[in-house]
Chains A and B, each alone.
Chain A
Amino acid sequence: KGTNFQCFSSLRHDDLKEMLDSNKDSLKLEAMKRIVAMIARGKNTSDLFPAVVKNVACKNIEVKKLVYVYLVRYAEEQQDLALLSISTFQRGLKDPNQLIRASALRVLSSIRVTIIVPIMMLAIKEAASDMSPYVRKTAAHAIPKLYSLDPEQKDQLIEVIEKLLADKTTLVAGSVVMAFEEVCPERIDLIHKNYRKLCNLLIDVEEWGQVVIINMLTRYARTQFLNPNMNEEEEEKDKKPYVMDPDHRLLLRNTKPLLQSRNAAVVMAVAQLYFHLAPKAEVGVIAKALVRLLRSHSEVQYVVLQNVATMSIKRRGMFEPYLKSFYIRSTDPTQIKVLKLEVLTNLANETNISTILREFQTYIKSMDKDFVAATIQAIGRCATNIGEVRDTCLNGLVQLLSNRDELVVAESVVVIKKLLQMQPEKHSDIIKHMAKLTDNIQVPMARASILWLIGEYCEHVPKIAPDVLRKMAKSFTNEEDIVKLQIINLAAKLYLTNSKQTKLLTQYVLNLAKYDQNYDIRDRARFIRQLIVPTEKSGALSKYAKKLFLALKPAPVLESPFKDRDHFQLGSLSHLLNAKAGGYQELPDWPEAAPDPSVRNVEVKDSVQSVPSVIINFLNFAFFSSEQSSEEEERKHERKSKQRKSESESESDEEEDSESESSQTESEDSESEAEVKKKKKVLKKTHFKHSNMNICMYSCQCSFISFQAAESKPPSKPVKKDNKKEKKEMSLLDLDDCKFSHANMYRPFLHLLLCLQTISPSSALKSYEMLHRITGEGLSVEYCFSRQPFSPDANMVAVQMQFTNNATSDTKNLHMEDVKLQSGMRVKEFPEIELLPAGEMVTAVMGIDFCDSTQAANFQLCTHTRKFFVSIQPPVGELMRPVFLTENEFKKEQGQLMGMNEITEKITLDVKCRNEHSIVQRVITAANLSRVPCGSDKECRFAGRTVTSSSLVLVTVATKEEGAAKLTINCEKMVIGTMLVKDILLALTQ
């Protein structure tokens, strides 16, 4: 139906107008579909504008969408009429549905009508602070649109960009960086504060955003960090050793996993980042990923090979292991073959050249003659770069001179010519050989080249040259034009060097040429005769004839066309074209001295820094009633903790990173973390941040206070929401049942603080997932073994659960049901949680008697709407509680648990776990045991009792030289013993 459109266009369009004006949506839709089909074919339908724009508020969603398509296409041409539609979008911007708000902004900002710039600006500003991240993303997309429409708005737009850069959601990050790149790429200062956040969010950003962010961060890093390879480049001894900025490291670490992306553009972006930013020793990781991309579509191969070609010049070693991946298949397109050849040539060195040349030999037999020509050039380059093979290459090339294909011969001659020019004196025999070839070779180009060579180096072959000229003079009339020209050339050169022998020959050749059919040849002959044969008429030039003809010609340089292309950022369009493309941002040189790294520090007003005051308030609250004598100590402590704080503050960011890395796959975690920060829920926060020593201490204090509160009040108080870890640490120090006065309590508390500094924070309790956020439809539950005595029943293991409501609605009546247990097991349920508001978190404790087995306790977790099947399975180490034994008691008990009850294992300790301190820590993390004092420093002993049957569990780790150690476990219950051996062994060796 489409072909008739043009002739009947006006008629048809009337038809369409009628359909658009009708009341039936189906007619309107049909009309719009036909209009869009016309737009797609590039037909002009602008005369329909008024009829179409009327339908902008149509209820039918497809009609509406197609009207948008039309509007965006033609609004620019029909500005006045387009204004009619604006109010519809303005209404849409206020819609309660976020997706409608977003789509209204999207279309509004796509209408390129200058008059609505202020409206767009306003809409963007509003959308940038919208509740919905999706609307904010759309706002980010709208920024470049407005900028291209009216660059005057730049300053205002930068403000919006700045605001959106601070956004913490992954949805927005890619789009706003894109806007940043288009509007204000020079404002690198806007990135400082967001740098770490961008690094940490990166893995969760959608793939296209990742590319943009990585490219931008590459440029950023070049301005902010020091060259990690500077020491190798210039060997100045007085330079201080290079230390990598932790932020630089952060970027490298967080981009590395993206080499595994399925998106070739992401892989390439990371590869160029590593190439431009990583220390030389680390760049190698990208080679494997790039080689993988060579399996992709040929266009991808084309771009990747261009970049590999550039990289392989600078960092040849990186691709050497993958040499064979660049071998050429007869089915590759020619442009891919040529690029692979380029890479192979760049990778050639003394050790692999023989393999490469053997490969090249097969390529020369290819049917693809362009490719053969490129191979010959490649051989030439190998020969120039690697002296050892020059003769082999030359001989190989000389053989090619007898090839039937003109292109091949011509290319060989050209390459031989270049090679010979480098050291002609050594290769007079090849020149002689080539002179002989003139008898056989018929390809004019090759004959011409040979003649040029003989003429040029006639002094090296003084005997042969005149003879060649003689032969050529004989066959002159039958030669091709280019050959004739070279014969004249040869004659002239010989006349100048050896006029005795060749004078007559030259005269003869010139005479022949004088009457040639080709005027070029006649002209050349006349010109040369005037120049070389001295007559009284000949001008001043003839004196210089020899200089003119036999000037030393510089040897052509055979180097890769990809040399030094890396001054363009790799992976960029400019690099590919080897010319600056519009909008290309130069990759800056490394700075001489690193700019202030503190610009990237983020003020965390509302989280960490507020901690001290909260804590101090708590402390005040706790201590005001106590004796005044403790006040001084308190102040001392305060000072100490502040000091600690400032020390660890610089690390805190890095720790944050490592922490957010662990939650990479669940972006919501990091979001919730951000929320937590805002809510100043320090205690909650510490739950995530086990490694943050500093905060951990504060919350220690809190838990202390809360403990006190718990003494007198029921345990459901909000302060009880604290972290279990600290409690456990206290229990390690036997502080759990402290019933001292406040002042007395304070002393061990200080002691605790001091201890905490020595015990590494990784002794934190491990929490396990009971219910994933996605499965739980917003409700997530984590549990951990709090290692507290479970007060209602001493034979039960306390399990502390943390419920988080990530959903947007409240969860009610959280309780458990339908407990399925193995025989003998018992459960004490946690009290029902009546309400868990959206975004909140609550903890509860339950007790389980596992009967000293690692069987799981299965039950249903019920909310007011749903039931979830969950289970809790204890590691064997949690089935015991610590007991205190003296050294003698330990030995005595051990003596009674010999034979079958003793399990011994020889182990090699992990490198990081060779000192007493870390052994203790790892064993205690793996199992709930307490340390037994020991006279020897070669032995660590631990003791505990199983929770249900109170059977003794004794653990001994005896260390020897070089990490060898012996692990002994004595336990009445052999099953527990065997399982525990495995767990502890794992803890100590990994």
Chain B
Amino acid sequence: MIHSLFLINASGDIFLEKHWKSVVSRSVCDYFFEAQERATEPENVPPVIPTPHHYLISVLRHRIYFVAVIQSEVPPLFVIEFLHRVVDTFQDYFGVCTEAAIKDNVVVVYELLEEMLDNGFPLATESNILKELIKPPTILRTMVNTITGSTNVGEQLPTGQLSVVPWRRTGVKYTNNEAYFDVVEEIDAIIDKSGSTITAEIQGVIDACVKLTGMPDLTLSFMNPRLLDDVSFHPCVRFKRWEAERILSFIPPDGNFRLLSYHVSSQNLVAIPVYIKHNITFREGSSQGRFDLTLGPKQTMGKAVESVLVSSQLPRGVLNANLNPSQGTYTFDPVTKMLSWDVGKINPQKLPSLKGTMSLQAGASKPDENPTINIQLKIQQMAISGLKVNRLDMYGEKYKPFKGIKYMTKAGKFQVRT
């Protein structure tokens, strides 16, 4: 399936190559570079590029292109999903997935890639199995290894691959047993010029951090499971139980993992937590444009709206912006024309606003496009859909774990058209 993998950085250097079958010359990447040149933006490089003898399937993460070389028919998503899994694993191991981190840990990277694919077909992609095979580098371990000459490679051969619960390590032990769940919801919305909602939906995830000894069997139930319209599970979740009782029953992997992603049924009206009053105008013949933006909370159920960040791509004709924020700071990059305003917390008594003028190229006619405004925000201790966890029970182990559930709402792809 996957023949070779090349990692290419932003400046077009191939800084790592790995082959699972016969070696493919790195000149195959020239086709990729050609496509890269043709694409105006880095994210516009086509994920699949045919070449005379191979196909290149690539993903772009953390400004690194992961280019897989394929020789024959294979579902493209199979490769794409796998490449993303590779990136996730690197991130898991090194904390970040940057060129520097990969270069510093090149041997671990190589060992990981060796275990993840056999003859180009995925072999071990579960992070728990990989961690048994190859221990993630830590500062302490690196030091110990340099002194004693011991290794990162697990002494024991892992048994996880043989287990019926391949996602969980055996023999997990903790002194503090804890299980934390974060319910994070994101609002995706498009708001039109007049402030009415064109489309809005809620996507949520439950991320877990479970550090429990032994083989705990957890069940998580919701007060209002009917809210969940479309769900996708970590493989540990027993699908039948969910179908029958709307209960999440699972033996958790050890550590951090995404238990569930869901979509809230679109029949429910989505509460939009903020509103924007905007007035962005350009006049014909004038080299000045007006910019006026006011934010206000709306349908927040009494919770504070925090970490608000407003950004907008202004038209190319704008040379500079001279604005006055009532709170927070703003920056305008005259090269990319990106305006971003770090608002912080919205105080309902004193609504934040950003007002001022934009200077345009003298003599140029008025831009005919209107910028869209992207908003990021956070609301703590609330899931905007109203989803509530009812209870979490543990079976199979005797100790009492510490349990915690946190809710948070964020803006996902939240756009206001002007």
- Interface residues of A, Cβ cutoff 8 Å to B: 24-26, 29, 33, 36-37, 39-42, 60-62, 65-66, 68-69, 73, 76, 97-100, 103, 106, 109-110, 112, 132-134, 138, 141-142, 144-145, 148, 171, 175, 178, 203, 206-208, 211, 215, 257, 260-265, 267-269, 288-289, 291-292, 295, 297-300, 302-304, 324-325, 327, 329-331, 333-335, 359, 362, 365-367, 370, 403-404, 571-574, 576-577, 579, 581-585, 661-662, 664-668, 772, 774-775, 869
Contact = CB atoms under 8 A, between A and B. Distances in A.
Interface in B115-174: 118-119, 121-123, 125, 148-149, 151-155, 157-159, 161-162, 164-166
Given A265-B77, A582-B71, A327 B157 contact: no
A573 B74 contact: yes
Interface stretch (B43-51, B381-389, B401-409): B43-51
B274 to A, nearest CB: 17
A330 B313 contact: yes
A26 B164 CA distance: 36
A200 B19 CA distance: 35
B223 interface: no
Given A211-B75, A666-B164, A772-B217, A203 B239 contact: yes
B128 to A, nearest CB: 13
B77 A300 contact: yes
B155 A774 contact: no
A295 B40 CA distance: 23
A334 B151 CA distance: 46
Interface stretch (B230-238, B286-294, B301-309, B321-329): B230-238
Given A299-B59, A300-B81, 19 more contacts: A42-B26, A69-B110, A99-B159, A141-B118, A145-B119, A148-B21, A264-B81, A265-B81, A295-B203, A297-B84, A299-B47, A303-B48, A329-B372, A334-B40, A403-B368, A576-B76, A665-B239, A666-B164, A774-B165
Return the 8 tightest CB-CB contacts between A and B, nearest first.
A26-B149, A583-B72, A62-B151, A775-B396, A324-B199, A99-B157, A62-B153, A665-B238
A208 B14 CA distance: 28
Contact of A664 (B58, B109, B151, B239): B239
Contacts of A367: 313, 315-316, 369, 371
B199 A325 contact: yes
A474 to B, nearest CB: 26
B15 interface: yes
A260 B73 contact: no
Given A37-B106, A260-B233, A333-B44, A585 B111 contact: no
Interface in B377-418: 395-398, 413, 415, 417
B190 A300 contact: no
B81 A577 contact: no
B100 interface: no
A333 B41 contact: yes
Contacts of B396: 772, 774-775
A178 B121 contact: yes
A178 to B, nearest CB: 6
Contacts of A576: 48, 76
B25 to A, nearest CB: 9
Contacts of B201: 325
Interface residues of B, number: 106
B261 interface: yes
A335 B44 contact: yes
A556 B163 CA distance: 61
A334 B395 contact: no
Contacts of A73: 19, 23
Contacts of A206: 122, 166
Task: Give chain A's interface secondary structure class.
Answer: helix
Contacts of A365: 368-370
Nearest to B154: A61
A774 B217 contact: yes
B27 to A, nearest CB: 11
Task: Give chain B's interface secondary structure class.
Answer: mixed
Contacts of A333: 41, 43-44
Interface of B: 1, 14-19, 21-23, 26, 40-41, 43-44, 46-48, 50, 55, 58-61, 70-78, 80-82, 84, 106-107, 109-111, 114, 118-119, 121-123, 125, 148-149, 151-155, 157-159, 161-162, 164-166, 188, 190, 192, 198-199, 201, 203, 215, 217, 229-235, 238-241, 243, 251, 258, 261, 263, 313, 315-316, 365, 368-372, 374, 395-398, 413, 415, 417
Nearest to A302: B47
Interface centre among B190, B251, B370 (most CB of A within 10 A): B190
A359 B190 CA distance: 11
A40 B70 contact: no
Given A260-B233, A775-B396, A24 B149 contact: yes
Given A36-B106, A106-B118, A299-B47, A304 B77 contact: yes
Contacts of B233: 260-262
18 contacts: A24-B149, A61-B151, A69-B110, A98-B162, A112-B22, A141-B118, A144-B121, A265-B82, A269-B75, A295-B188, A297-B59, A300-B81, A367-B371, A404-B365, A573-B70, A576-B76, A667-B164, A774-B217
A775 B395 contact: yes
Contacts of B315: 367
Given A40-B109, A62-B152, A264 B21 contact: no
Interface centre among A62, A269, A299, A667 (most CB of B within 10 A): A299
Contacts of B110: 36, 39-40, 69
A325 B81 CA distance: 22
A603 B296 CA distance: 71
Contacts of A302: 46-47
Contacts of B23: 73, 76
B193 to A, nearest CB: 8
B309 to A, nearest CB: 14
Contact of B415 (A134, A171, A331, A661): A331
B73 A264 contact: no
A582 B17 CA distance: 24
Contacts of A265: 75, 77-78, 80-82
B10 to A, nearest CB: 16
B155 A61 contact: yes
A772 B22 CA distance: 47
Contacts of B413: 329, 331
A288 B230 contact: yes
A772 B15 CA distance: 49
B50 to A, nearest CB: 6
A134 B162 contact: yes
Contact of A29 (B22, B71, B72, B149): B149
Contacts of A665: 238-241
Given A33-B107, A330-B415, A331-B413, A42 B46 contact: no
Interface centre among B151, B258, B415 (most CB of A within 10 A): B151
A112 B315 CA distance: 58
A581 B73 contact: yes
A61 B46 contact: no
A362 B78 CA distance: 35
B230 A264 contact: no
A772 B241 CA distance: 15
A261 B81 CA distance: 12
Given A134-B161, A260-B239, A334-B44, A573 B16 contact: no
A260 B232 contact: yes
Contact of A40 (B18, B40, B118): B18
Nearest to A144: B119
A574 B155 CA distance: 44
A329 B190 contact: yes
A297 B87 CA distance: 12
Contacts of B22: 76, 112
Contacts of A579: 50
Contacts of B74: 573
B157 A97 contact: yes
Given A331-B374, A774-B217, A300 B119 contact: no
Contact of A300 (B80, B215, B258): B80
